[in-house]
Amino acid sequence: MLSIHDMPGHLIRRLHQISTSVFADRVAEAGHDITPVQFAALATIEANPGIDQATLAGLIAYDRVTIGGVVDRLEAKRLLERAVSPRDRRARVLELTPEGKALMAVLRPVVVALQDDILPGMTTKEKTEFLRLLAKTAAAGNSLSRAPLSLPE
Amino acid sequence: MLSIHDMPGHLIRRLHQISTSVFADRVAEAGHDITPVQFAALATIEANPGIDQATLAGLIAYDRVTIGGVVDRLEAKRLLERAVSPRDRRARVLELTPEGKALMAVLRPVVVALQDDILPGMTTKEKTEFLRLLAKTAAAGNSLSRAPLSLPE
DNA sequence: TGATAACAGTAAGTATGCTAACCATTTGCT
DNA sequence: AGCAAATGGTTAGCATACTTACTGTTATCA
């Protein structure tokens, strides 16, 4: 009898829960209030200034509606600016504000550092192997997700 | 420069996203409308009739508030019954209804079967190793989570 | 050119998954 | 017994993370 506790789906959820909890703790310790998706959005906009919301959603694998809400909140925090695209009046182009860039400069090392703490209880070797398989299966299952990763051509 | 796409936290979220998507697809194909946490709650109540909400929350590693809402919806669907505990008037004891039991009889094999599809792109050997490490790290990180797994003594 | 399909964004609605605060009840301790 | 602490549940509030449906704009192609 396969118990809930041994099912891959349940274990993945648990690990995700641990991951987001560690993220929240470390970011709060650093004195900031940013969620994982907000960080992902800011990092992607910083690397792709002028990106529109739909492309951003594809790059970080979220649906457009969720990203619309995330961008709302980042705009309210004055971390980014949103403007109608001059090339396509449907689209909104995004840019980090100076405050957004300053926050990323502070937060990026914090977030990079905490990545090492979200896979506890494994040896370095095991961690490497786990990450290899994790990347492999996430890539293989991409199209199964509701909001697949979509890189612009 | 560690990109978002290579960070463990992001990859774990992606896999979780794939996992919940596969779950929703398979359950919908079977003609039902049950979420992962609803299934976990029903399975745990079935195995522990008369369990109270707080203990249930601990067994499936959710906070009490979330489980309160999940139980609300399962009660509204007539899949379980909630009653004041005769031994502790604070607590609510939970039991599956006949409909709840019938649903579990149908759904359990579906959910067990779909577990095999949420880790695509890996060989059988890799899958086994991945699951071993997944269980290991989820156990090691249990206390880091906001809602740790808590087994009654 | 003119219909029509595709696409960007948003509104409304639902379910998770939390925090903080609160009430009622029970437990533990003196 | 009496009282403080702990516990079970709920309310309110917030941020994901979706679905469906709609508006407005752009692209396609007959």
What pLDDT does residue A25 have?
98
> Can you list the positions of beta strands (E) in A17-138?
51-52, 80-84, 92-96
**Residue B148: DSSP 8-state:** -
Give buried/exposed letters for B17-44 (b at 16+ CB in 10 A, else e). bbbbbbbbebbeebeeebebbbbbbbbb
What pLDDT does residue A153 have?
67
Segments of chain B scoring below 70 in pLDDT = 153
Q: Where do we find the tokens 């094999």?
A: B109
What pLDDT does residue B115 have?
96
Q: Where do we find the tokens 């396969």?
A: A2
Q: Which amino acid is at B54?
A: A
CB contact under 8 A, B137 and A144: no
* Segment holding B84, helix H or strand E: strand B80-84
Return residues with beta carbons within 7 A of strand D. A 35-38, 62-63, 65-66, 69-70, 73, 88-90, 145-147; B 13, 17, 21, 52-55, 57, 64-65, 68, 71, 82, 85, 88, 90-92
- Nearest alpha-carbon partner for A126 in B132, B141, B15: B132
User: Model confidence at A1, in pLDDT bands (50, 70, 90)?
Assistant: confident
Whole-structure pTM value: 0.96
